Amino acid sequence: MENTFKKTAIWTIVFTLILSVVWLPALWFFTLWIPIIVLGYYDYHQTSHTLLRNFPVVGHGRWLMERIRPFVRQYFFESETDGAPVSRMFRSLIYQRAKGSLDSNPYGTKLDTQRVGYEWIGHSMAAKHHDAKHPVTRILVGGPDCIQPYEASIFNVSAMSFGALSDNAIRALNKGAAIGGFYHNTGEGSVSDYHLEHCGDLVWQIGTGYFGCRDEKGKFAPEAFQKVASKDAIKMIEIKLSQGAKPGHGGLLPADKNSNEIARIRLVEPGTQVDSPPGHSAFSTPLEMMDFIQQLRDLSAGKPVGFKLSIGRTSEFVAVCKAMLETGIKPDFITVDGGEGGTGAAPLEFSNSVGMPLREALSFVCDVLIGFDLKKDIRVIASGKVFSGFHLVKNLALGADICNSARGMMVALGCVQSLVCNTNSCPTGIATQDPKLTRGLVVPDKAERVAGFHQATVNSTMEMIAAAGLRNTADLNRSHIFRRISETQVRRFDEIYAIPVVGSFFDDEAPTKFAQALKESSAESFFPKQYVTETTEGLKAAS
Ligand SMILES: Cc1cc2nc3c(=O)[nH]c(=O)nc-3n(C[C@H](O)[C@H](O)[C@H](O)COP(=O)(O)O)c2cc1C
């Protein structure tokens, strides 16, 4: 290729010089040729890219194609059901609902109803009609120990921090929450001024970095917590154990993103890299975790306190339930995040292959709570690809009381799924801190869209349950949903995910699928018993 490049360069120069004899302005072409020749010379001699050494100049086409590939696919080749993580069908639905434009579907379903995995709700012959005069279900969160219970919408904004999202995105989500009467989870990056500007209800999330409630060593600081938790806007507190997109992986705030503003909000040193450890330092056993829940409840004057997790080893969740029973301290809510959940940035292996998918995780959590007769006091919140009324219905039927959405709300804000959340160059000004990009996001307009998406989705949920003859989402259960499990067989959800008898885990009557987790779990350790050593001080995790 060297010869081809040299020959082409020499012939171009000679031809241009000859042309300039008859037409002098041809010399201007050198302003184009010289940079190309310099680039080719550089490509040929650089040592990082084989392709450019072998094909100087033209080899850059490969990188150009890689860059535009997602856009070409999305705009020219994507079918209705294509596109990940949010398919085109649901992106369009969210845009339509957010804008309040026509969202009805012409000509019938585009889904393959014979496909294994196809699901639907069984409607009733005594179907009801839902309209504005019928009440929309609200869910009271707050067990017997909670002094300030909170009445939540069935659909809310899932955790996303200021830092992962821009100031204007946070403002628009919060204003949308205020307009629509639903909550906005702060994410683990603490409570910023943008979260408070529009007075939307907040769930304050506390991760392993204890941002906004930490001392200089990064440990939990009760006074700092109390100061923030006492704010009126904060309705509930969520301890984040893990999230589905990267369970067991701590977050990292790079030094260049750690601006003075972010440092002030998170109580960290500006301009330094801040690592969030994968686990909590405020507790190291299920029993200590319950004490921490009680401490947060006391410090927040009795606001609902819960935790968020992605299910990993099942015995660990059983261990947490055993700790609830042993201490008598219960969380007011548990948020179950599916392994399919989103994030600003995570290692591919963690996003692809760590964490239980929502369906299995949600049914498992609900079953264990039912088996220990704990479900009556604890609300279950589900997150993971909830974009439509039917997504809500499925999760509520499995046992959730409430659903959260992160990426659905981002799409309502105008996200075009360009998949660059981890590069600070989000073209829609949502997942970036670049002021040149965030200025494009107009808060009042996008707040209306977030509220519009919420309202239309809740309305669709209420219409769907009315078609099943119900008025309250709490009356949904697993018998309402059907799933195709082979070309010729269909099962109801209650046949696939059989519900244990309430309290049956106390009488050794737990279904066999829970036997192993029940046997290996202990309130004294997150680890299963066989990995725990008996010491004079009690049970200790073996190293
Ligand atoms: C940009 C972005 C930032 C997120 N930040 C957090 C976070 O700070 N804390 C957390 O628990 N989950 C975080 N998540 C996960 C979401 O809260 C949610 O659990 C997950 O994306 C599943 O919901 P979805 O499918 O509706 O997106 C984030 C997700 C996204 C897309």
- The two structure tokens encoding residue 18: 């000859």
Query: Which of 386, 391, 381, 365 is CA-nearest to residue 497?
Result: 365
Ligand 1 lined by 235 (C-beta under 6 Å): no
CB atoms within 10 A of CB 179: 18
Q: Which residues contact 291 (CB under 8 A, 6 or more apart)?
A: 283, 327, 329
User: Around Cβ 276, how many Cβ atoms within 10 Å?
Assistant: 19
pLDDT the model gives residue 536: 79
pLDDT of residue 535: 76
Question: Which residue CA neighbors atom 21 of ligand 1 most closely?
Answer: 342
pLDDT at 405: 98
For residue 48, what pLDDT is reported? Answer: 92
Q: What is the pLDDT, as a whole number, of residue 362? A: 98
Q: What is the mean pLDDT of residues 238-261?
A: 90
Q: What is the mean pLDDT of residues 220-240?
A: 98
The pLDDT value recorded for residue 543 is: 54
344 Cα to the center of ligand 1, angstroms: 8
Does pLDDT of 508 surpass 90? no
CA of 131 to the centre of ligand 1 (A): 32
Q: Which atom of ligand 1 is nearest to the CA of 187?
A: 8
Q: What is the pLDDT of residue 539?
A: 67
For ligand 1, whether the C-beta of 341 sits within 6 Å is yes
Answer positive or negative: Cα dihedral of 484, 489, 494, 498: negative
Q: How confident is the model at residue 430 (pLDDT cuts 50, 70, 90)?
A: very high
Torsion-angle region of residue 385: left (phi > 0), alpha (psi -120 to 50) or beta? left
Q: What is the mean pLDDT of residues 421-426?
A: 90
Phi (first) and psi of residue 117, to 5 degrees = 105, -10
Three-state SS across 415-442? Answer: CCCCCCCCCCCCCCCCCCCCHHHHCCCC
**Confidence category of residue 56, pLDDT binned at 50, 70, 90:** very high
pLDDT digits (tens, 9 = 90+) for 325-352: 999 999 999 999 999 999 988 999 999 9
In this structure, the residue with its CA closest to atom 29 of ligand 1 is 343
Whole-Å CA distances, 123 to 74, 443, 479: 35, 39, 11
Nearest in space to 447 (alpha carbons), one of 192, 184, 234, 131: 184
Q: How far is the CA of 74 from the centre of ligand 1 (A)?
A: 23
Whether residue 379 is predicted with pLDDT greater than 90 in this model: the reply is yes
Cβ(417) – ligand 1 distance below 6 Å: no
Q: Considering only 184-188, 254-258, 462-466, which range has the smallest mean pLDDT?
A: 254-258
Atom of ligand 1 nearest to the CA of 387: 26
pLDDT in tens, 489-505: 999 999 999 999 999 99
* Distance from residue 521's CA to the centre of ligand 1 (Å): 29
C-alpha distances out from residue 218 to 193, 212, 238, 276, 521, Å: 22, 10, 18, 9, 30
How high is the pLDDT of residue 542? 65
The topology (CATH level 3) of 138-477 is TIM Barrel (3.20.20)
Q: How many residues does the chain have?
A: 543
Ligand 1 contact, 409 CB (< 6 A): no
Cα(383) to centroid(ligand 1), Å: 9
β-bridge pairing 201-206 and 234-240: parallel
Phi, psi of 391 (to 5 degrees): -60, -40
Taking only the tens place, the pLDDT of each residue in 514-524 is 998 999 999 99
CB of 240 sitting under 6 A from ligand 1: yes
Q: Strand pairing of 155-157 and 150-153?
A: unpaired
What is the reported pLDDT for 411? Answer: 98
Residue with more model confidence, 178 or 418: 178
DSSP string, 271-324: TS-EEPPSS-SS-SSHHHHHHHHHHHHHHTTS--EEEEE---SHHHHHHHHHHH
Cβ of 361 less than 6 Å from ligand 1: no
* pLDDT band, very low/low/confident/very high, at 537 (cuts 50, 70, 90): confident
For residue 244 the two structure tokens come to 């589905």
CB 337 near ligand 1, within 6 Å: yes
Between CA 529 and CA 477 the distance in angstroms is 34
Written in H, E and C, the secondary structure of 311-369 is: CCCHHHHHHHHHHHHHHCCCCCEEEEECCCCCCCCCCHHHHHHCCCCHHHHHHHHHHHH
Q: Does the C-beta of 188 come closer than 6 Å to ligand 1? A: yes
CA terminus-to-terminus distance, the chain: 58
Residue by residue, DSSP assigns 174-203 as HHHHHHHT-EEE--TT---HHHHTT--EEE
310 lines ligand 1 (CB under 6 A): no
Mutate to test the pocket of ligand 1, among 162, 238, 243 (most ligand atoms within 8 A of CB): 243
Tokens 């239980």 sit at which residue?
A: 356
Cβ of residue 383 lying under 6 Å from some atom of ligand 1: yes
Q: Quick one: tokens of 210?
A: 């204890």
Give percent of the chain with pLDDT exceeding 90.
86
**pLDDT 10s digits, 345-373:** 899 999 999 999 999 999 999 999 999 99
Predicted confidence at residue 541, as pLDDT, reads: 66
What average pLDDT does range 144-172 have in this prediction?
A: 97
Which residues fall within 8 angstroms of residue 160, CB to CB, at 6 or more apart?
173, 185, 187, 344, 406, 409, 410
* CA-to-CA separations, 346 to 153, 244, 385, in angstroms, rounded: 30, 11, 17
pLDDT in tens, 1-24: 667 888 999 999 999 999 999 999
Other residues' Cβ atoms within 10 Å of the Cβ of residue 299: 19
Question: β-pairing, 201-206 with 183-185?
Answer: parallel
Q: Is 243 in the pocket of ligand 1 (CB under 6 A)?
A: yes
Phi-psi region of 505 (alpha: psi -120 to 50; beta: other; left: phi over 0): alpha
Q: Whose CA is nearest to atom 17 of ligand 1?
A: 159
Pick the more confident residue, 256 or 355. Answer: 355
Instruction: Please state, in angstroms and as integers, the Cα–Cα distance from residue 292 to each residue in 221, 280, 318, 330, 355, following that order.
Output: 12, 11, 18, 11, 24
Among protein residues, the one with the nearest Cα to ligand 1's atom 23 is 384
The mean pLDDT of the chain is 94
pLDDT, average across residues 461-483: 98
Q: What is the mean pLDDT of residues 202-206?
A: 98
Weakest mean pLDDT among 97-106, 228-237, 360-369: 97-106
Where along the chain do its domains lie? 2-71, 138-477
